[in-house]
Amino acid sequence: QTVVTQEPSFSVSPGGTVTLTCGLTSGSVSTNYYPSWYQQTPGQAPRTLIYSTNTRSSGVPDRFSGSILGNKAALTITGAQADDESDYHCVLYMGSGIWVFGGGTKLTVL
C-alpha cells in the first residue's frame, strides 16, 4: 500500500525560507496527483493554502508557493513569520475517487 510521506517536523528562522515536501513510498508525485496543502493550528479547522500543485487559494499570501521538486510535491514559505508556526498537511488524489493525506509536518518558527 502506497503511503504519502511528509517530514514530521521542520524549523525555520523568522524571515527565512523553508520547503516542506510530500512524497510517495512508491513512485513519484506528479501534477496528476493534484497535490494540495493545508495549514492547521491547534483546535482549528484546516485552511486551504495551495491546490492543483501550485494554485494559491483565495487570500493566501504569495510567500506561500507550491511546486513539484524532483519526485515530490513541495510547499515553500518565503519570509517566514511567527504565525506560520502550524501543522501543514498535504493530500494527493490517487485516482478512482480516493484521496490520501500525508502524516503532516509540524513547522516551528524560531
Query: Under the criterion CB under 8 A, does residue 26 sit at the interface with other proteins?
Result: no
Cβ neighbours for 36, distance < 8 A, ≥ 6 positions apart = 48, 49, 50, 51, 52, 90, 91
Query: Under the criterion CB under 8 A, does residue 91 sit at the interface with other proteins?
Result: yes
Binding other proteins (rule: CB under 8 A), the pick from 13, 52, 71, 108 is: 52
Q: Residue 95: what are its φ and ψ, rounded to 5°?
A: 90, 165
Query: Under the criterion CB under 8 A, does residue 10 sit at the interface with other proteins?
Result: no
Query: Under the criterion CB under 8 A, does residue 73 sit at the interface with other proteins?
Result: no
To other proteins, the closest distance from the beta carbon of 21 in angstroms equals 15
Pairing, β 9-12 against β 105-109: parallel
Q: Residue 74: what are its φ and ψ, rounded to 5°?
A: -135, 145
Residues found near other proteins in the complex (CB under 8 A):
1, 6, 34, 36, 38, 40, 44-48, 51-52, 55, 57, 87, 89, 91, 93, 96-104
